[in-house]
Structure 1
Amino acid sequence: MNEPLLITRRGHTALITLNRPDTRNALSGEDMFAAFEALVDKLNADLSVRAAVLTGAGSAFCSGGNVAEMRDRTGMFAGSPEEITERYRQGIQRIPRALTRLQVPLIAAVNGPAIGAGNDLACMCDLRIASTTARFAESFVKVGIIPGDGGCWLLPRVIGHARAAELALTGDTIDADEALRIGLVSRVVEPDQLLPDALALASRIAANPPQVLRWTKQLLQQARTGTLDEALDAAGRLQGLAHHTADHAEAVAAFFEKRAPVFSGGVA
């Protein structure tokens, strides 16, 4: 069987490809869940990675759960209600738990349908760019289940409660233009421009100091659930550290010398 995730480097950017086109990149199997955990550990440990792009092999971004396994009550969907609960905890829920630990900014390059858990996977990313061929659906109700991967937490934080409720309660599919209108994605491009645009955005992000990028992402994540006082405390603490990095000194020197800075991720 193919490796579930392919990882290649484009300078300071990691390009991650869901590599199960035969299942339209469904999120199932121990190897898939473990691959996401290993990916996060690998990228977090490598300060030379400053941004990442996630896309899908073949015509789909991610079809969500494996409906054939649902029909056959195999894999994650086998057993009693209590057993299925535990399989979700030990299975697909490991993906959002892993990606919430990812310190590197992550861009979803949605190249085709992002359905059910695939839509939620896109929402686990920091930014989303869609091809004109992309489709999105929080479609769990259409197969008689609920968003078991955290979709009811993720989706409202991207598009707001009312729009998230409409998508989750109807299961409707929307096209890329509607996804842009409601703020699910930040831009829509032609299919042949999707990866170039996503990598160009990643490159613009990666031009900045690596440690400061990670701290900024940390503050953005904390803001989802924290109070203003908590945000200010964290910002003050991290700002104190930022002022003592070699990259801050380099950025200030480059400003006065009217040149492009060269960042290393080191400390002053």
Structure 2
Amino acid sequence: MTTVPLPSLTDARLTLEARVATLTLDRHDVRNALTGTGLVDDIVAVAEWVNRCDEVSVLVITGAGSAFSAGGNVKDMAQRGGDFAGDVAEVAERYRRGIQRIPLALQGVEVPIIAAVNGPAIGAGFDLANMADVRIASDRAKFGETFLNLGIIPGDGGAWFLQRLIGYQRAFELTLSGRVVGAEEAREYGIVLEVVAHDALLSRVGELAAQFAAQPPKATRLTKRLMKQGSRMELKDFLDLCATFQGMCHNEPEHLDAVNRMLEKMAR
């Protein structure tokens, strides 16, 4: 088992307990904005750490304070400062070296990611939630693909994630209208799996994370890889990959341990 020290973070907090890593965005003073803070670097560092640390089976992402994430810093946009300063080439390069590192990093995370959406997830904050495998929302959560309202496009890959999550037509409507939807409407669209009372959010997410974390860890990581590959591979190629992964699983001690536990249960 590979034990890797927790990374040093600037604007977020990270804990690891019972194989569940919890990343809390901790810039509630700016509603956990992803630009103009150290959160991009923090999220990328945690994604890389998770893949190196065998003691992690689940990653939970949530926000401190009243918001999950407000996305981009609108004040910086108004002043053409920070990540939004410069000509076309400069802004484009800053996106590539900045916020666009998040979708690439999270898409490569080998363990299940659960977004515990504690409040508004707006713009790039909405997209961040959609990069998770599962979203559980507080009844105080709101969601909005609001880029067009500011005269910009989803520059962090949000248009790629949203249509794969809820289909092209609904994703198109939400993106082009820029409207903000509440937690229950988001559940109806399939954006979130469940909506729970605000005070019960972390408890419910903890239950789900514990269920995932109780599964054999190596097989869990391989299953996550299969789920990601399944949407972009032809069936025959996918089945070949399944066969290889299954051969790996059958030769892991965790497989025999799980089988023996099942046999003991059946003998009772």
Give the TM bin, normalised by the shorter chain: over 0.9
1:75, distance to aligned residue in structure 2 (A): 1.3
1:246 aligns with 2:224: no
1:47, distance to aligned residue in structure 2 (A): 1.1
Match of 1:236 in 2: 243
Match of 1:75 in 2: 82
Q: Which runs of 5+ in 2 are unaligned?
A: 1-8
1:149, distance to aligned residue in structure 2 (A): 0.2
Letter in 2 for 1:77: F
C-alpha RMSD of matched pairs (Å): 1.3
Match of 2:101 in 1: 94
Match of 2:194 in 1: 187
Structure 2 SS opposite 1:104: coil
- Cα distance per residue 1:198-227 (max 9 Å; x no partner): 011000000001111111111111123222
2:53 paired residue among 42, 46, 68 = 46
| Aligned pairs, number | 258
Q: How does 1:204-219 map to 2 (within 5 A)?
A: 204-219=211-226
Match of 2:91 in 1: 84
Q: Name the CA shift for 1:5/1:224 in 2 (closer, same or farther; >3 Å).
A: farther
Identity over aligned pairs, percent: 48
Q: How does 1:1-268 map to 2 (within 5 A)?
A: 3-29=10-36, 31-258=38-265
What is the CA–CA distance in structure 2 between the aligned matches of 1:243 and 1:181, rounded to whole Å? Answer: 39
Match of 2:4 in 1: none
1:101, distance to aligned residue in structure 2 (A): 1.4
Letter in 1 for 2:200: Q
TM-score, scaled to structure 1:
0.93
- Cα distance per residue 1:37-90 (max 9 Å; x no partner): 211121111111111211000000000111111111111100001111111001
- Cα distance per residue 1:226-260 (max 9 Å; x no partner): 2222321211111110111111010111111128x
Contact 2:36 2:73 (8 Å CA) reproduced = no
1:29, distance to aligned residue in structure 2 (A): 4.0
What is the CA–CA distance in structure 2 between the aligned matches of 1:242 and 1:233, rounded to whole Å? Answer: 14
What is the CA–CA distance in structure 1 between the aligned matches of 2:53 and 2:250, rounded to whole Å? Answer: 22
TM-score, scaled to structure 2:
0.93
What is the CA–CA distance in structure 2 between the aligned matches of 1:228 and 1:116, rounded to whole Å? Answer: 35
What is the CA–CA distance in structure 2 between the aligned matches of 1:220 and 1:5, rounded to whole Å? Answer: 28
Structure 1 SS opposite 2:38: helix
Structure 2 SS opposite 1:96: helix
What is the CA–CA distance in structure 2 between the aligned matches of 1:34 and 1:230, rounded to whole Å? Answer: 35
Contact 1:13 1:50 (8 Å CA) reproduced = yes
What is the CA–CA distance in structure 2 between the aligned matches of 1:219 and 1:66, rounded to whole Å? Answer: 36
